[in-house]
């Protein structure tokens, strides 16, 4: 079995109880380029094939390694692909079925057989969102919003740097401002809920097929009233469905929570960025290609908005020579920029829960029992 993209080396203890006579495990802590990315060379594609070709079982972490049909057809030994998370747009499930490869998910609900977690690790609490529970990405989105608004990263760097600086700029207060949510699904609604409850933010939202009725239902599903959730406008919808243009023109903070597809690729481009207020913030914890990279770089380089925070990128891990890694952001008229290494889901509880679920399915496969959470 190959365990892929285990950057922080946390997976192997979850499988240590399986005898070596039954299973040989190889852990890869690095990452290879995405097989089907336009910038991935034929040489790199062959390196991916050679790495994965020997394995009967592969344990993947989210979509860090995509599995398009062209790659699956080059892996004749593969019988079981153990995926994690809930989105599998980069997995060709039809080709996997055709080739007799079983693909399973790890939805993050824990083992079904009652076996305990790893020794010394507390059970992951399960809280309803109406009582404060939320996905780790929700927390990370707000960490980035607050870090931008309150100048946390920039003041920290200034105080520790060679200038030993103090108070880089005024913070942006969020109370009563407008939060624009692009994609009002489970995560978008959770982010909107916090803005509404914590700072009385007006929430506007947009997606291709969003109606006010759906937005009202989204508010109610997270424990808010359909109308009157904003104390500044008690007659208005708590989550107001608006046009895309209105969202980008009026929001003080824009947060992306959209599913990536061919239709949504580049959904934020030069036109949308030009509509934003000079004081606005843009946060992406969803998928890198939702934003036109070149357009965003140009807007930030010219200081057209106050700042952006990116947790996701077109190529991950972010190349060492990426211009996003510059320390010049926030200086000489450039916008502020915070970048994090796709940490939205990299939290102790959910990561270990995924590996626990993966271990349970692996045990079932080795015993010849039906698999859980099958995707094909």
CA distance 52 to 48: 6
**197: exposed, middle or buried (C-beta count within 10 Å: 0-12, 13-18, 19+)?**
middle
Candidates 342, 352, 356, 360; catalytic one: 342
Q: Which two tokens stand for residue 187?
A: 């995560």
CA distance 240 to 202: 8
**242: exposed, middle or buried (C-beta count within 10 Å: 0-12, 13-18, 19+)?**
buried
Candidates 287, 306, 352, 373; catalytic one: 287
Q: Which two tokens stand for residue 159?
A: 């105080």
Q: Note if 140 is an active site residue.
A: no
Q: Note if 89 is an active site residue.
A: no
Counting Cα atoms < 13 Å in the Cβ hemisphere of 132 gives: 2
Candidates 220, 301, 316, 347; catalytic one: 316
Q: Note if 357 is an active site residue.
A: no
Cβ proximity of 207 and 164 under 8 Å: no
- Picking from 341, 348, 345, the residue whose alpha carbon sits closest to that of residue 288 is 341
Residue with tokens 């192997």: 12
Q: Give catalytic residue positions.
A: 287, 316, 342
């Amino acid at each position: 079995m190959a365990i892929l993209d285990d950057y922080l080396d946390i997976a192997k203890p979850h499988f240590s109880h399986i005898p070596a006579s039954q299973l040989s495990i190889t852990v890869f802590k690095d990452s290879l380029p995405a097989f089907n990315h336009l910038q991935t060379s034929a040489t790199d594609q062959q390196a991916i094939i050679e790495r994965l070709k020997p394995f009967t079982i592969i344990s993947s972490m989210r979509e860090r390694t995509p599995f398009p049909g062209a790659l699956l057809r080059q892996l004749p030994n593969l019988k079981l692909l153990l995926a994690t998370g809930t989105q599998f747009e980069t997995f060709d499930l039809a080709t996997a079925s055709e080739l007799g490869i079983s693909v399973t998910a790890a939805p993050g609900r824990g083992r079904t057989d009652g076996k305990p977690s790893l020794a010394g690790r507390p059970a992951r609490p399960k809280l309803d969102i109406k009582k404060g529970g939320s996905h780790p990405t929700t927390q990370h989105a707000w960490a980035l919003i607050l870090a931008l608004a309150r100048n946390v990263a920039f003041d920290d760097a200034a105080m520790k740097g060679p200038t030993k600086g103090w108070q880089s700029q005024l913070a942006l207060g969020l109370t009563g401002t407008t939060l624009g949510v692009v994609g009002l699904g489970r995560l978008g609604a959770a982010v909107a809920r916090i803005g509404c409850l914590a700072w009385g933010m007006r929430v506007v939202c947009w997606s291709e097929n969003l109606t006010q009725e759906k937005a009202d239902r989204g508010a109610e599903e997270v424990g808010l009233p359909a109308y009157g959730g904003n104390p500044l406008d008690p007659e208005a919808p708590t989550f107001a469905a608006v046009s895309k243009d209105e969202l980008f023109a009026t929001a003080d903070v824009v947060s992306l929570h959209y599913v990536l597809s061919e239709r949504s690729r580049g959904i934020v481009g030069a036109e949308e960025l030009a509509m934003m207020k000079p004081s606005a913030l843009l946060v992406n914890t969803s998928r890198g290609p939702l934003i036109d990279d070149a357009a965003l770089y140009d807007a930030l380089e010219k200081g057209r908005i106050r700042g952006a925070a990116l947790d996701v990128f077109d190529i991950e891990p972010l190349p060492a020579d990426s211009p996003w890694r510059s320390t010049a952001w926030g200086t000489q008229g450039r916008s502020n920029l915070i970048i994090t290494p796709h940490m939205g889901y990299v939290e102790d509880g959910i990561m270990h829960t995924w590996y626990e679920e993966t271990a349970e399915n692996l045990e079932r496969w080795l015993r010849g029992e039906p698999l859980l959470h099958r995707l094909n």
